[in-house]
Structure 1
Amino acid sequence: MNTNAADRAFPWNHIVGFVLSIALTLLALWMVQAHVIGFTALVSLILVLAALQIVVQLFLFMHIRDSPGPRYHIVALALGLLFTFAIVAGSIWIMTFGGNQAY
């Protein structure tokens, strides 16, 4: 059986990621329930917290920087983000400007 010390080490990355994820989630929940800022600023801040949550998930749980060799998974992730952005932006565009035409 070939195990090295890194495989048997305590998973500090997972613990730190879990604590950060819980903290970001509770911060967003508290801001919504306490009405600390206006609606537009609140939505913007929650989107920033969501982006931070994505970074925490990618680097501490999914180990995006740990694999040796070509970075095909980063290219695939970028393509997925491009598709997600296109779908969300297109949906917002249609909901904003294309509502009442009868074809």
Structure 2
Amino acid sequence: MDNSKTLHAHGHDAHGHNAAGGSHGTVKSYLIGFVLAVILTVIPFKLVMDGSLPKPTILLIILGMALVQIIVHLVYFLHMDRSSEQRWNVMAFSFTVLVVAIVIIGSIWIMHNANALMMIGM
């Protein structure tokens, strides 16, 4: 038997890396991601149900938790990190976010200007 990595039936070596160089998460990493996602969901839910904070503060906390949850999902479930194997995936994801942001911001800008122009005569 040679010294090269032995691949299991689905093209994965003993460390969970597939033949193409990417890696799957471990049960531990999936559990950590799941627990973080649950915590980041329960906190805003509890704040909304209590209603003890002002609504703008609750909204900012919800938005902050949502952004953190997006990062948790990207890291723990989609396995996007700074490794060289993930560089193209991160670049593709970044480009997608840029295009979506341009579409959303452009749409809001156009609707705002259309509304402003329609209200000139009133």
Q: TM-score, normalised by structure 2?
A: 0.68
Alignment size in residue pairs = 101
2:90 to 58, 63, 74: 74
Q: Which whole-Å deviations, capped at 9, do the CAs of 1:15-62 have from their partners, x for residues lacking one?
A: 000000011011111111111322222212111111100110011111
What is aligned with 2:69? Answer: 53
Show structure 2 runs of 5+ residues with no match.
1-5, 17-24
Q: TM-score, normalised by structure 1?
A: 0.78
Find out whether 1:29 has 2:45 as its counterpart.
yes
Query: What's the RMSD between the two structures over aligned residues?
Result: 2.6
Distance 1:70 1:62 in 2: 10
Between Structure 1 and Structure 2, the one with more helix by share is: 1
What is aligned with 1:6? Answer: 15
Q: 1:56 to 1:89 in 2, by over 3 A?
A: same
**Deviation larger for 79-88 or 54-63:** 79-88
